[in-house]
């Protein structure tokens, strides 16, 4: 089984919003699997993400459309 298949199976039933929450709460560099899965999902939707400073002053994930620069919301 490939890494892609393994992680797809591991995160089956986990929403994209939950993956983002996990990344935002993870200690530095403690979110490799979640990042891989988020990148896979966003690529399928022609979206990407970046770190931005959140309301609390900490870095958080912001998903956006790279062609328009507009944020995309995930709940």
Is residue 44 very low, low, confident or very high in pLDDT (cuts 50, 70, 90)? very high
Check residues 10 and 74 and name the one with the higher pLDDT: 10
Task: Note down the domain range covering 60.
Answer: 3-64
Residue 52 within a domain: yes
Beta bridge partners of 62: 50
Residue 72 within a domain: no
Supply the pTM of this predicted model.
0.88
Residue 21 within a domain: yes
Q: Tell me how far apart the alpha carbons of residues 37 and 19 are, in angstroms, rounded to a whole number.
A: 8
pLDDT greater than 70 at residue 75? no
Contacts of 66 (CB under 8 A, 6+ apart): 46, 47, 48
The total domain count for the chain is 1
């Amino acid at each position: 089984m490939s890494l892609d298949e393994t992680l797809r199976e591991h995160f089956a039933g986990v929403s994209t919003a939950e993956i983002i929450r996990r990344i935002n709460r993870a200690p530095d560099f403690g979110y490799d699997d979640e990042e891989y899965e988020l990148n896979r999902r966003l690529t399928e939707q022609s979206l990407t993400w970046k770190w931005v400073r959140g309301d609390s002053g900490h870095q958080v994930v912001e998903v956006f459309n790279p062609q328009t620069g507009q944020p995309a919301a995930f709940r």
